Amino acid sequence: MLNPKLITDAVVAQITKIPDLATAMTVLDSGGNPNVRITAFHYRLGAEHRLAEAIYKMPAPSILVAWEGTLGGNFSGYQVWKHRLGVYLRMGNAAGHTDPVGYEDLWWLLCNQAPQGTSSNLRYTNILPGLDIMDTPSIVHQLDEDQIDIFRGEFVIPEIGDN
């Protein structure tokens, strides 16, 4: 089985290459340097927040990708592991923007715009050697602790065989 940490990081790397999505997630830091806010969450007790707090603290705009479990089974004879990743979206402040990017746009970009350097969108990309293309992704609306709209996308990515 592949290490889910590597899969999480690979998904983040691919998402960051989606041009318009990366632009929508880019802010200038205090030094005026662009900062693309697409990050991976890893479970590191003592070094990282718990997942719930990390989602709560997500700045706007930002995307957070977290591994949320692996399903084992004999899915198609050659697939025995399916890795489930949550992709949390928080859109930016639309005030002052003539062409704001909302959740509908972010999800469309995530599903349909090809990462830079590739001709296929993320749904038809082998994100790592040993990984099959993902199952058709889903997204659901959620409310955070402040009753603010956020969305959680779900990528389920099967492995090819048992690596």
Question: Could you list the residues that contact other proteins (CB under 8 A)?
Answer: 27, 30, 49, 52-53, 56-60, 93-98, 144-148
Strand-pairing partners, residue 15, are none
Residue 116 carries which DSSP code?
T
Give the residue with the Cβ less far from other proteins, 58 or 65. 58
Q: To the nearest whole angstrom, how small is the minimum distance from the Cβ of residue 147 to other proteins?
A: 7
Q: How far is the CB of 46 from other proteins (least distance, A)?
A: 12
Q: Minimum Å distance from CB 139 to other proteins? A: 21
d(CA 127, CA 142): 27
Q: φ, ψ for residue 155 (rounded to 5)?
A: -105, 125
Report how far residue 36's alpha carbon sits from residue 26's, in angstroms, rounded to the nearest whole number: 4
Q: Which is nearer to other proteins, 60 or 71 (CB)?
A: 60
Residue with Cβ nearer other proteins (92 or 115): 92
Residue type, 55: I
